[in-house]
Structure 1
Amino acid sequence: MINKIKELFQHQGFKKYFANTSWLFAEKMLRMVVGLFVGIWVARYLGPEQFGRLNYAQAFIGLFSAVAMLGLNSVVVKELVNFPERENEILLNALFMKTLIAVILIIVIFLYYQLNKNYLNFLIMILSFSWVFQVFNVIDMYFQAKVMSKYVVIVNFVSLLISSFLKIFFILIKAPLLYFVILIVFDNFILALGYIYMFYKFKKQISFSCRYIRIKWIKELFTQSWPLMLSGMSFVIYNNIDKIMIQNLLNSYETGIYSAAIRLTNIWQFIPGIIMASLMPYLVEGHKIGNNEFYKRLRIIASILIYFALFLIIIYSLFSKLIFEISFGHKYLAASSIAIILIWANLFIFFNTVWNRWQLIEHNTKIIFYFSITVSILNIILNFILIKLFGVIGAAYALLISLIIGYIVFYVFLDKRVIKLFWEALLLKGVSYKR
């Protein structure tokens, strides 16, 4: 098996993107370590109830985040790789689309606050201004397509340092919850400035001319992105509805406990994200070579992600209680039993990132939406039932069960190629592509 694993990293073409992935991985590891420790300090300072309110506000905003992103991220990367001569058109039209939708969403949230004035909704309104600055994340897509993520990493690192310093400062001066909410918006502002600086440093010839913004390009981008946007909406509903339902069915304290469990299990989900983001050009090129090469590259990536997920499951199953006692403290100890259930979801989520890119490259994005909406609906129904029956741990069961049912329906009955890929990746076997 060791030899098989070595072969994964010696695969022809894989090394080309490894340096880029290493930069992303290093940044995310640093963000995970620094962000985790500072985030835990914030959670300890706020306590479960205030921490629950903060996470509820973020979850509420998260419900709209997929709409704000418009599903453009992967589409922009793919288009920039395939049509580098159209960089200006692709980037400017994507930026225009994201800016327009961000303004509309902020107005909607403001009107919602005017109709339902309370402290939680006020926090939500403040957080919504993050969308203004997140439109510049399209610059990140440019550097991904060019396999130059080093420069994005530098920006993210600077932003992380500033944000972490301010969080610690707020804790020391015993700042109220509102300060931490405003800091989230400020962090997005710093990121936007950094992206703009790096972009102009390495691409000075771009022209922000209105002649590049055309209905034709907007329609072309939106035609590809809308299924991903709807899929993303389903995904964020899936990821955030549990906190929202816990807040409404139980209370802020239980929301804080559950959020702590989510924090220590979801931190690892950056790994499939950065691997797939950095290796998207690697997969697109493999698809151009032929189906066998493309499928082989999918299997290489799937093997890495599956084995890392299994490693996490073992660690959390054995040491979850100790992990929470050391990190969040005794006030959050109830989160340890929730985390043991939630960590199993990573096995499905990690592998699903490979499947998503597979469908995107083959222009079959609608099935991603159908899968996501199915799982989201199941999660909402199961949350409503299981939270009432079992309390906060019912939300963890709802998340895992909805994933399992969704995978059985879509992988076993609708696309058996996916099951084949999963088992061959798990067994580290050589593969061939058969439709």
Structure 2
Amino acid sequence: MPVLKRFANPDVTRAVANLVWLGLERLTQIGVAIATSGVLARYFGPDVFGKWQYANTLLLVLSPITWVCGAEILVPTIVHRPAAQLGTVLGSAFALRLSVSAVALALTWAGIAAGLTDPVVGAMLAGLAVTMLFREPFVGVINAWLQSMTYSKPQLLTSMTTAIAKALLVWLLVRAAAAPARFGWLWALESAVIGAVLVVYYMRRHGGKLGWRIDRTLFRHFATAGAVFWLGLICMYLFLKLDRLMLERAISFADLGRYSAAQQLNENWITLALMLAQTLAPAFVYRVQDAAQLRHNMWRLTAMTAVLMIAGAFVLDLLAGFIIRRVFGPNFEEAVDIFRWAVWLSVPAGIEAIGNLVVLKYQAKFVLLSKWLLALAVACVVNLLAIPRFGAYGALIGLACGYLAAASVNIYYIRYKLRP
């Protein structure tokens, strides 16, 4: 009965419950994202939807700037410091993240005011960018506290509820024939509500007081510790959105909207690979100390992920026409072929996600940074050569080459770190 004893352990039970809530939240977010995109695509049409997707791309490139003092730094600090210092730890992290987020938001608005973007894109981005002021300073800090207790249910439940509410508000604005620029403010409202709910929850758990304080030494520590991981994440997200950033200069917004529609569905499918990696990591990677066993587990996980991604890509390839027409409507017919090719990116993306677990296990921050710098450079060069010749398909080639470069670094590191 070792299995029953294992699940009787409160730590294991809490971790399993946390994992279930994480899975539910991810599936809810994926479902809401697809439904919302379908509604907006039909309402906006390809041209305006392309501008909406480009505004979201800019936001996703800018957002990692606010991820200073990530969870890999903050959560261990919370765990290892005495409970009496919790207010100082969270207050210092909050002050750092809020100041960085405020600067990022101000620079974004300044760029919009200076006319660096298309007017419609800028109007959409103006609302979307406000999410930076709430996500990391409020939601991120309190979520780190919840993670330190292996109890993310309050944040995940709030996130699911607000996502569904946001989808309803999107539908109501569409029914009211609202201007495209207004939709971005719904995302800002969502992040503000999540932040407010979590702050209230934290205060209720601490006698109705926030009790956050700033310690200058800790503030400086948070600003420097994890900087390499932070830069690596910035490079990773820039790589993931580089295709749309470079396509915006080469094709029309209508074509960019069709390309983005296909890619959004594909990215939700790739998210499942990341969920799989996060699910398997604790048992098969993080807790394994024997190098030979870990090496064996990695090859098995890689093979299993490759088979799963190939099977899924094959099914999605066959159903591409049905999926695109049902979600986005007849004006996005050109997205069908793009989606058929894009789904096969899940294979190198899934393999990269599994290989990345060893990099994270050993906290190889310079490997992480070098990997995404290489992927970014490779994708940029390939895009410069391929997009003028193949258009949107050239951007897919750039992504594929970038993923292969990143996966190659993972494989090299695994062979080096776990060599017999």
Structure-2 separation of matches of 1:42 and 1:127: 15
Aligned to 2:390: 390
Relative distance call for 1:402 and 1:74 in structure 2 (3 A) is: same
Aligned to 2:327: 327
Structure-2 separation of matches of 1:176 and 1:267: 27
Q: 8 Å contact 1:265–1:339 — kept in the other structure?
A: yes
Moved more, 348-357 or 29-38: 348-357
Alignment of 1:257-272 (within 5 A): 257-272=258-273
Aligned to 2:190: 187
Aligned to 1:153: 156
Q: 8 Å contact 2:56–2:128 — kept in the other structure?
A: yes
Q: 8 Å contact 2:64–2:233 — kept in the other structure?
A: yes
Deviations 1:93-151 (A, max 9, x none): 22121111011112212322232273323333332222111121221222223111221
Asked if 1:406 is matched to 2:406, the reply is yes
- Look up the SS of the partner of 2:151 in the other structure: coil
Q: 8 Å contact 1:80–1:142 — kept in the other structure?
A: yes
TM-score, normalised with respect to structure 1? 0.83
User: Which among 179, 194, 199 is matched to residue 196 of structure 1?
Assistant: 199
Q: 8 Å contact 2:120–2:181 — kept in the other structure?
A: no
Structure-1 separation of matches of 2:275 and 2:205: 22
Asked if 1:339 is matched to 2:346, the reply is no
- Look up the SS of the partner of 1:70 in the other structure: coil
Aligned to 2:233: 232
Moved more, 16-25 or 227-236: 16-25
Asked if 1:242 is matched to 2:243, the reply is yes
- Look up the SS of the partner of 1:327 in the other structure: helix
Deviation at 1:232, TM superposition (A): 1.2
Deviation at 1:369, TM superposition (A): 0.7
User: Which among 28, 31, 36 is matched to residue 30 of structure 1?
Assistant: 28
Relative distance call for 1:202 and 1:336 in structure 2 (3 A) is: farther
User: Which among 166, 172, 180 is matched to residue 177 of structure 1?
Assistant: 180
Deviations 1:303-351 (A, max 9, x none): 7755543332222222222221222222112222222332233233334
- The amino acid across from 2:335 in the alignment is A
Deviations 1:249-286 (A, max 9, x none): 11111110111011111113444555666787778972
- The amino acid across from 2:193 in the alignment is I
TM-score, normalised with respect to structure 2? 0.86
Aligned to 1:90: 89
Moved more, 244-253 or 275-284: 275-284
Deviation at 1:53, TM superposition (A): 0.4
Aligned to 1:421: none
Aligned to 1:370: 370
- The amino acid across from 1:333 in the alignment is E
Moved more, 217-226 or 170-179: 217-226
Q: 8 Å contact 1:58–1:127 — kept in the other structure?
A: yes
Aligned length: 409
Q: 8 Å contact 1:24–1:153 — kept in the other structure?
A: yes
- The amino acid across from 2:336 in the alignment is S
Deviation at 1:209, TM superposition (A): 4.4
Aligned to 1:214: 216
Unpaired runs of at least 5, structure 2: none
Structure-2 separation of matches of 1:259 and 1:319: 18
Deviation at 1:32, TM superposition (A): 1.8
**RMSD of equivalent CA atoms:** 3.2
Aligned to 1:116: 115
Q: 8 Å contact 1:68–1:105 — kept in the other structure?
A: yes
Deviation at 1:168, TM superposition (A): 0.5
Unpaired runs of at least 5, structure 1: 1-5, 419-432
